[in-house]
Every structure is written in C-alpha cells, then in structure tokens.
C-alpha cells in the first residue's frame, strides 16, 4: 500500500505495471522482498478491503469545516467498459449491462455511486462511495447502504421517487428525500396542469442544490 500510494502521489504513475517498475528501479533497497509484477498485482487485489477502509478514514480525517452535516447530495455515473451493442469481454465477473439515462446509452460496465456532504457554492465532499454492476438501481444502493443515516436531508433525482419508502424513512429516521416530483400514473391532465408550476419550481430548486455533485463527477 505504501509503494502504491507513494508512487501515485509523487510520480503520477497510475498503472500497476508502472508502479512496480518504479519500485524495482528506485525503491528496492527499502523493499527487498518486493517480488515479481504478478505477485505485486495479486497483493494489491487482496488488499482491496484495506484500501476501502483507508479511504473511509481519509474522508473522516479531512472533512472540511464548511460541510453541512445534515445535508447530503446523491448521484451516480457510469464506468463504461464497452458499448451495449457489443459483447462484453472485460471483467465479466464484476460488470453487466445497464442503461444511463443522462447519456441515453446502453452499456456494459460498472456504476459509481456517491453520497456527499453539501458545501455552499463549492464542490461537495464525499462521505461514502459505492461501486456496483451497471444494472444496479440507485434507489437499491440507497436502501442497502445509506438509508440508516438519521436527521438528514437528501437531495436526489427522479430515480428516488418512492413515496411509501421515504415516508417511512422520515417517520423512523427523521430523514427526508428532496427530489423532483414525478407525475402519478392515472392522474388527470387537469391535476397535472394545476400542479405543474409548483412542481417545476421545486425541481429547479433541487437541481440547483445538486449541481455541484454533477461538477464533482465532471
């Protein structure tokens, strides 16, 4: 882990092969039992849980003082390994086929989900990060990983429309989901027209709060 983090930070080497070569060339006196590239790569893979814990510790230690501890922004982004029109060949044990609505794209790959503390007029600070197969729904990730947070205002998009679940969450955890209002099935046109102005204003307000997390992914 020391070799990996040092070389990424100081030498801007990002591939495991580059990192191993740098260690062989310049750090071998400190790490005489470094071993082959294959052994080094396998060791890093076995330390994935340790890297996750280390990352969580960094998030806690470097939390900016201007974070709103009771306000969290939610978003996800695709990690594309190939187009949905092709046959997947990369990391098939980890990836599957999903759909990205913002890009109107079917793809094979993963999805990165982020829960981040809101900061006023600044990029939000990540609180939790999850990586899932592409097909996993954002709402599913929220229910399984983040719904235990109490006294929290969440800001999400339309994917989080689930009135029954979030009504129960508010009652049990005092946590509220703020997201654009999705039209109800079977609602008459007259009611849609009556509510449209208020719903559009609310959606705009939520989108403005969420904009920084879009910038974080960019």
- The pTM of this model reads 0.79
Distance CA 7, CA 23 (A): 8
Average pLDDT, the chain: 91
Task: Say how far residue 136 (Cα) sits from the centre of its chain.
Answer: 12
Element (H, E) at 212: helix 189-217
- Helix pair 37-46, 48-61: axis angle to 10 deg: 60
Contacts of 159 (CB under 8 A, 6+ apart): 137, 138, 139
Tell me: the pLDDT tens digits for 92-136?
889 999 998 888 899 999 999 999 999 999 999 999 999 999 999
Cβ count within 10 A of residue 28? 11
CA–CA distance, 172 with 42 (Å, rounded to integer):
44
């Amino acid at each position: 882990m020391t070799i990996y983090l040092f070389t990424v930070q100081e030498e801007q080497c990002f591939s495991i092969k580059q990192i191993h070569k740098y260690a062989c060339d310049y750090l071998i006196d400190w790490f005489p039992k470094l071993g082959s590239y294959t052994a080094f790569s396998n060791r890093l893979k076995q330390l994935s849980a340790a890297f996750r814990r280390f990352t969580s510790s960094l998030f806690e230690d470097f939390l900016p003082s201007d974070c709103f501890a009771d306000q969290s922004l939610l978003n996800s982004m695709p990690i594309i390994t190939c187009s949905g029109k092709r046959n997947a060949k990369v990391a098939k044990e980890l990836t599957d086929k999903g759909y990205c609505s913002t890009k109107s794209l079917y793809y094979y790959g993963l999805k990165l989900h982020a829960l981040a503390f809101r900061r006023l007029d600044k990029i939000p600070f990540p609180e939790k990060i999850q990586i899932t197969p592409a097909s996993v729904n954002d709402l599913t990730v929220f229910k399984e990983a983040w719904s235990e947070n109490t006294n929290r205002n969440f800001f999400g998009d339309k994917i989080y429309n689930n009135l029954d679940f979030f009504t129960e969450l508010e009652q049990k955890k005092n946590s509220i989901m703020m997201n654009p209002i999705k039209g109800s099935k079977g609602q008459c046109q007259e009611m849609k027209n009556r509510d449209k102005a208020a719903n559009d204003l609310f959606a705009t307000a939520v989108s403005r709060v969420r904009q920084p997390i879009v910038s974080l992914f960019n």
